[in-house]
Structure 1
C-alpha cells in the first residue's frame, strides 16, 4: 500500500482523531523524533504518539523504521506499568496514513518543578527489577555495542571538528566489561520533558525509545550530562541522593564512568550540531567531549 508523500504527521494525527470520533485535538508536546497529541471524544481523552517520519535517518538513529521504536515503546511502557514503574499505559498501535501511531492513556502534568529526590527513587526501584528477558538477551553484548557506538559517533564528529584522539575501540570495550557488572532496564532519556509531574511527584516516565539493558551507571552518567541543559530540569546531585536513599548503587570512581559520560556527550554533540542545531549547546557538548577524551 502506498501513501501520499504530502501527508504530514500532524495531518495524520488529525485524521486519526476524526476516525476515532474525537472532537478536539491539539499538540501537547514534541521531541526530535515524535509529536505528542491529546484528543478528546465525548467520553474520554487519549494521547497519540506520532513519529515525525516513517523512517528515521539521523546521526543517532540511522535508517530506523518508526514502527520499530513504537513497538519498543508499547512493550516497555507496558512492562513498566506491570512492575510498578510510573508510566502511561499503552492502549493500541495503529497505522494512519503510513504512520505507526501509539495510542496511550493520558497522564496529566501540572507544570510544577520535578522533585529530584523522587525521580532518583523511581530510578533506583526500576533498576532493582529484573529486566525483560528479551531485552536482556538483545543487549547481551551491550558493552561491545557501546564501544562501537562511541567509535562511530566520534568518527562522524571528528570528521568535522578537531578533537583529541579516542582510545582503541577494543580498549574501551575491555574497560566497560571489566568495571560494569549488574544489568537493569534503563530508560536512557530522563529529563523533565519526558516525565509527567503532579505536585512535583513523577507520575509517568514517557518515551522509552532509547531504553537499554545495561549497568545502572549507563543511565546515571547520561543524566549527569543531561543536567547541563537548563530546560531538562535536572539536578544530578539530588537525583543521585534520592537514588541512594532507595538502595540504588552507582560507582563514579571507575574508568568506565568517564567512558559512559563520553558516550552521552558525543550523542548530545551530534544532536546539537546536526539533528537539532543549537550553537550554544553544540559548543558546550563539543567542549565536554574534548574534555572527557583528554581524561581517558
Structure 2
C-alpha cells in the first residue's frame, strides 16, 4: 500500500521531531497502512521502541467518517495493557504523546519478528482464548456505544449506500430493523474481537505469535463475526491466511461455532462491503476492487436463499 511523498514526509517529520526532543535515535520507517505510519527508534532507558503516527488527526474515509486518531491510540494503549495483563501477546504500550502540530503518537516496545508465518492452528487457538477471556470494561471507539446487532444494522446500510454510489447495479439489502433482529436472535455472546486478523498484523518468531498488533477495528460482540471476517480475509491472497487450519485450532479450544446462516452472511457482507470500499476508494486497486464488488454481489445473491 502506497502513500504520497508529502503525506509520508509529514509523518516522518512528526516522528523525527519527537525523537529529537527526547534524545532518541533518528526514527526509521517500519510499516505503513491506510491510517497510520510506524517508525522504529531506540530510546535511552527504554531500548527499541516503535512510534505509531496517524496520517490525520481525524480520519475521513468511506468506512470511517470523523474518527479521532487520538481516541484510537488511547484505545490501543488501554487495550494493550489489558491484554498483556491477561497473558496475550501484544506490543506493550509505553506512552501516548502529543507530537508535531498536536498529532498524537503512541510509543510501544519493539517486538522482534523473524518474518515467519505462525502455526495457523495455534493462532486459531489464540483467537479462541481471546473470545473466552470476556470483554474489557470499555466501549471500543468504532462501536459508538451500541451493541453489535445495532452497530451492524447502522453501519452496513450506510457503507452499502456508499458502495452503490460507485456501483449502482448492486441490489438493495434488508432494512436496518431486520438486520438487527436477525443478529440479536443469533448472538452467541459478548467477546472482544480483533477484527483485522491479517498476516501483516502477526509478528512471529519461530512460527509462534510474538504479538498481535493493530487493534483499531476491535469490537465487542458475537465472536462468529471474527470467524466470518477471517474467512473473507483469507480469500485475498495478500492477507496470507490459512483459514481452514485457523478454524481447526479455534474449534479445538472453543468447539465448532454454532451456525446461523443469516447472521453469518451478514457478518461476511459487512466485511466484503468494507473491503470493497477500501479497494474502490480508500486505497484504490482496480483488480481487488472489482473482485470485492463481485464478492458483495455473490453474498447478496446467497442471502436471498436464507432471508
TM category (shorter chain) comes to over 0.9
Offset of 1:253 from its aligned partner? 4.3
Find the aligned partners of 1:184 and 1:138 in 2 and give their Cα distance. 16
Offset of 1:59 from its aligned partner? 1.0
- Aligned pairs for 1:86-105 (under 5 A) are 86-97=89-100, 98-105=102-109
Give unpaired runs (5+ residues) of structure 2.
1-6
Which residue is equivalent to 1:153? 159
Which residue is equivalent to 1:272? 279
- Aligned pairs for 1:129-168 (under 5 A) are 129-135=133-139, 139-161=145-167, 162-168=169-175
RMSD: 1.8
TM-score with structure 2 setting the length: 0.91
Which residue is equivalent to 1:25? 27
Q: 1:47 aligns with which of 46, 50, 63?
A: 50
SS in 1 for 2:27: strand
Give unpaired runs (5+ residues) of structure 1.
none
Superposed structure 1 runs of 4+ greater than 3 Å apart: 136-140
Which residue is equivalent to 1:122? 126
Find the aligned partners of 1:39 and 1:155 in 2 and give their Cα distance. 42
Structure 2 residue 301 is the aligned partner of structure 1 residue 294? yes
Offset of 1:83 from its aligned partner? 1.2
Whether the aligned pair in 1 keeps the contact of 2:80 and 2:91 (CA below 8 Å) is yes
Distance 1:184 1:6, change over 3 A: closer
Distance 1:139 1:129, change over 3 A: farther
Offset of 1:113 from its aligned partner? 1.9
Find the aligned partners of 1:6 and 1:42 in 2 and give their Cα distance. 26
Q: 1:77 aligns with which of 65, 76, 80?
A: 80
Find the aligned partners of 1:260 and 1:215 in 2 and give their Cα distance. 10
Find the aligned partners of 1:220 and 1:268 in 2 and give their Cα distance. 16
Which residue is equivalent to 2:3? none
Find the aligned partners of 2:33 and 2:147 in 1 and give their Cα distance. 29
Whether the aligned pair in 1 keeps the contact of 2:121 and 2:247 (CA below 8 Å) is yes
Cα deviations by residue, 1:122-168 (Å, 9 ceiling, x for unpaired): 10011001111223896552211111111001111112201122112
- Aligned pairs for 1:232-247 (under 5 A) are 232-247=239-254
SS in 1 for 2:254: coil
Which residue is equivalent to 1:56? 59
Find the aligned partners of 1:135 and 1:63 in 2 and give their Cα distance. 17
- Aligned pairs for 1:101-116 (under 5 A) are 101-116=105-120
Cα deviations by residue, 1:182-218 (Å, 9 ceiling, x for unpaired): 1100011111111111111111111111100011111
